[in-house]
Structures are given as structure tokens and as C-alpha cells.
């Protein structure tokens, strides 16, 4: 009798463990996917679509494997604000009515036409993480305590990053910088940097030729040392941005490389920290060399 009971009990335990399938999440961009994995731990299975920091993410095209993953997902997460509008078609094609869709841009106060690179504003990530934690807790209330504990650890990482941004801001606020594409601009604003060349950046982002005026102003800013650093988007380069990089190098303006998509060996926090460190050391060198 006892033996039968035990066999039954183990059978039941085995059965329920096998039943507990992770929540399937598909994220259009790997930084949203990695944070979902951090928040969901063993209870989520995450697939990220854009994960190659060598490719221009503005020129993405889908494949059948991605379409299949979206069709099977419990949560689909994408940036919005026109950055990844191909997701709209993919979700529509997947035709699943029960799907939870999170458009991160819609959680912020940004609207279409705003700079879509909102993940370079850490506050966006906090808003997103809070929202996702609430969603996971609702769908899988058994593990609510776990999700809240993960969110606490996320907040600790966030506070550390914000403290670093504050420190750098006191050092560098008001310093003029320039960039080939607006990928880093939200972070530059958080640091109080004065971003130049914004018309030029918009053309590069949209894949159009910058105007003669915008191009000349950009070149002059570099040649005449009106900026302390050139922030270069490694992922969105073309002959025009390449030329600007060469002009900067010739004028001895430091070039700081930034990527749009998180390098696969990093997480959001190490990625942001590394970008900030590279920028801070370039600015420090440049500003101290001005004193002599
Ligand atoms: Zn971009």
C-alpha cells in the first residue's frame, strides 16, 4: 500500500515537473531578451531575433524559423517607435490571439518620430523590467516571489549604473560631442553632453544622404576641434560615416565605437558600463590634453 502510494507520488511529481514548461518569450532585440532572461530565470525560455552586433539592424529581414518562434511564444517583445516595424507583420502572420505583446516604446512617454534607440536610456529598461515582472507574476503566480526577487536584483544593477552616470555627469556635463548616428544620444543626454550634428545623424539612421550643409557642419566640427569626441556607430557604417571617422582621426579627435545590439558575450549592465568607460577615458584624455 505504502509502496503503491510512493510510486504514485513520485509518478505525480515527475509528471508535474515535466508539465511545467517555461514561459516562451521572443524578443526582437537581444538586450530586451537578456533582461527577460534575468527576470524570469529558469521559468522562461528566451529567443532573441537581433543578436548580431556586426549587422545593420535597420536593414533586417525575417526567416521562417523566426516566424515559427513567434507563433509559439507566450510573450513577444519589441522596441517599437518604427525601429523594428517588421515585427508588426510577423506577429500578424503568426495569428495568435492569446499572445502578450510588449512594445517597449509604448511603455515610455515617447511617440513615433522620437529617437527610437531608447534602450540607451537606462530608465527605459527600468520601466520595461517593472512591466515584464508584473506580467510574468500574473501569468505564473506560483513563482511571483521569485520574479519580485529578480526585480530587486535588477534594481540594484540599475542603481549602480545610475550612480555611475551621475558621477560622469558632474565631470563632463556641457562637453560638446558628435556622433554618426543617434544610437547613443539618450545616454549622452543623461550625461549632460552637448550633442552636435543631429541632422546628419538622422539621415544616416534613415539611410539617406545627409545634406551638403549638414555634412560641412559635421566636418568643420571635427577639423576645428569644436567637439571632444566622435561617437561612431560600428553597426551602421557607410562611406559617409567612414569618411567622418578618418577626418576625426586626422584631427586627433578620439573615436569611441558604440554598438546598437548587445555583444553576445555581455549583458546589458556590462555593455553599458563598457561603453561609458570607453567614452569617459576618451573624454578625460582629450580634456586633460587641452590644459597643456
Ligand atoms: Zn540605429
Low-confidence ranges of the chain (pLDDT < 70): 1-19, 97-98, 290-292
pLDDT of residue 206: 87
Give the cell for residue 151.
Answer: 526585480
Q: Rounded distance, CA 77 to CA 26, Å?
A: 6
What is the structure's pLDDT at 93? 85
Q: What confidence score (pLDDT) does residue 4 get? A: 52
Q: Measured between alpha carbons, how far is residue 256 from residues 56, 178, 261 in Å?
A: 18, 10, 16
CA of 30 to the centre of ligand 1 (A): 14
Location of C-alpha cell 571635427: 222
In this predicted model, what pLDDT tens digit does every residue of 92-101 receive, in sequence order? 888 776 579 9
Task: Report yes or no: 190 and 165 within 8 Å, Cβ to Cβ.
Answer: yes
The CA 181 to ligand 1 mean position distance, Å, reads: 6
Please write the tens of the pLDDT for every residue from 151-166: 999 999 999 999 999 9
* CA of 114 relative to ligand 1 center, distance in Å: 12
Q: Considering the entire predicted model, what is its pTM? A: 0.89
Instruction: Compute the distance from residue 289 Cα to the ligand 1 centre, in Å.
Output: 31
Cβ distance 118 to 182 under 8 Å? no
| Helices marked H in the chain | 2-19, 30-40, 64-72, 86-94, 104-107, 122-139, 144-172, 185-190, 198-205, 212-223, 239-250, 268-290
What's the pLDDT at 233? 92
How many Cβ atoms from other residues are within 10 Å of residue 98's Cβ? Answer: 5
Residue 270 C-alpha cell reads as 556590462
Amino acid at each position: 500500500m505504502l509502496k503503491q502510494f510512493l510510486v504514485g507520488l513520485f509518478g505525480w511529481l515527475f509528471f508535474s515537473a515535466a508539465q511545467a514548461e517555461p514561459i516562451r518569450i521572443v524578443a526582437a532585440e537581444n538586450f530586451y531578451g537578456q533582461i527577460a532572461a534575468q527576470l524570469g530565470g529558469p521559468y522562461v525560455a528566451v529567443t532573441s531575433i537581433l543578436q548580431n552586433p556586426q549587422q545593420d539592424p535597420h536593414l533586417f529581414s525575417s526567416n521562417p524559423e523566426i516566424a515559427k518562434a513567434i507563433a509559439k511564444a507566450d510573450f513577444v517583445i519589441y522596441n517599437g517607435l518604427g525601429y523594428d516595424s517588421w515585427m508588426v507583420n510577423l506577429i500578424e502572420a503568426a495569428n495568435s490571439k492569446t499572445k502578450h505583446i510588449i512594445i517597449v516604446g509604448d511603455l515610455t512617454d515617447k511617440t513615433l518620430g522620437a529617437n527610437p534607440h531608447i534602450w540607451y536610456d537606462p530608465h527605459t529598461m527600468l520601466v520595461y523590467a517593472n512591466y515584464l515582472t508584473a506580467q510574468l507574476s500574473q501569468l505564473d503566480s506560483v513563482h511571483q516571489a521569485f520574479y519580485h526577487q529578480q526585480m530587486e536584483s535588477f534594481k540594484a544593477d540599475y542603481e549602480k549604473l545610475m550612480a555611475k552616470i551621475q558621477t560622469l555627469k558632474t565631470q563632463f556635463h556641457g562637453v560638446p560631442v558628435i556622433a554618426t548616428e543617434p544610437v547613443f544620444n539618450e545616454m549622452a543626454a543623461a550625461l549632460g553632453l552637448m550633442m552636435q550634428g543631429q541632422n546628419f545623424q538622422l539621415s544616416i539612421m534613415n539611410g539617406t544622404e545627409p545634406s551638403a550643409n549638414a555634412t560641412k557642419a559635421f566636418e568643420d566640427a571635427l577639423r576645428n576641434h569644436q567637439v571632444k569626441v566622435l561617437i561612431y556607430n560600428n553597426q551602421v557604417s557607410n562611406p559617409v560615416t567612414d569618411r567622418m571617422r578618418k577626418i576625426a582621426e586626422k584631427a586627433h579627435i578620439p573615436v569611441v565605437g558604440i554598438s546598437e545590439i548587445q555583444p553576445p558575450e555581455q549583458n546589458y549592465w556590462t555593455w553599458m558600463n563598457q561603453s561609458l568607460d570607453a567614452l569617459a577615458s576618451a573624454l578625460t584624455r582629450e580634456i586633460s590634453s587641452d590644459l597643456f
